[in-house]
Amino acid sequence: MTVEAGLKDFERRLDALGADLDRWPASAAAEARALMARSPEARAQHDAAARLARLLAAAAQAEAPNGLAFRIVGEVAARRTQRFAWLASPGRLSLAGASLGAAALACGLMLGVVSGANSSQSAFAGGLGFGGPFEVSLATGDL
């Protein structure tokens, strides 16, 4: 195996198994030690992996300040409130209301046109075909 191929395999194993060679399989650890003995690049990779392992171990032991969890939950709640705050702003609410009203009017008109074209024409109901009881009420003035 060439040194370059050995370095790639060594780097892959460092990423997977960590810098502690005692935790590697015995044959892989022996190959790694032999590679580090003849390759300065392998030693540099191992040193970098060992530094990273020490930093991660130190970070895992650090304690969070008091109240950190409450601050995080509060920040999340504040961001959720801000996400929907635009609905309560006067300019946006009136625009949203006008848009909703226009959409409802358009749907109502379309429904009226469609139902008027599919029903019998009526002189009293303006051609919308509301049916007999409504026409009788209009005719007798009992509305």
Query: How confident is the prediction along the chain (143 residues), in pLDDT tens digits per residue?
Result: 577 778 899 999 999 999 999 999 999 999 999 999 999 999 999 999 999 999 988 888 778 788 888 899 999 888 877 766 666 666 655 666 777 888 888 888 888 777 765 555 544 445 555 555 555 555 565 55
Residue with tokens 């006067």: 90
pLDDT of res. 14: 93
pLDDT of res. 21: 92
Q: Where are the alpha helices (DSSP H) in the chain?
A: 3-17, 26-38, 40-61, 68-83, 90-118, 132-140
pLDDT of res. 89: 64
- Kindly report the pTM of this predicted structure: 0.43
pLDDT of res. 48: 94
- 87 torsion bin: left (phi>0), alpha (psi -120 to 50), beta (else): alpha
How far is the C-alpha of 102 from the C-alpha of 95, rounded, in Å? 10
**26-34: long-range contacts (C-beta < 8 A, 24 or more apart)?**
31/6
**Total number of residues shown for the chain:** 143
- The residue type found at 21 is L
Half-sphere exposure of 23 toward its Cβ, with a 13 Å CA cutoff?
Answer: 8
Residue with tokens 């009226």: 112
Cα-based distances in Å from 82 to 77, 89, 90, 91? 9, 11, 15, 16
pLDDT of res. 51: 94
Spans of all domains in the chain:
3-61, 98-140
CB 34 within 8 A of CB 65: no
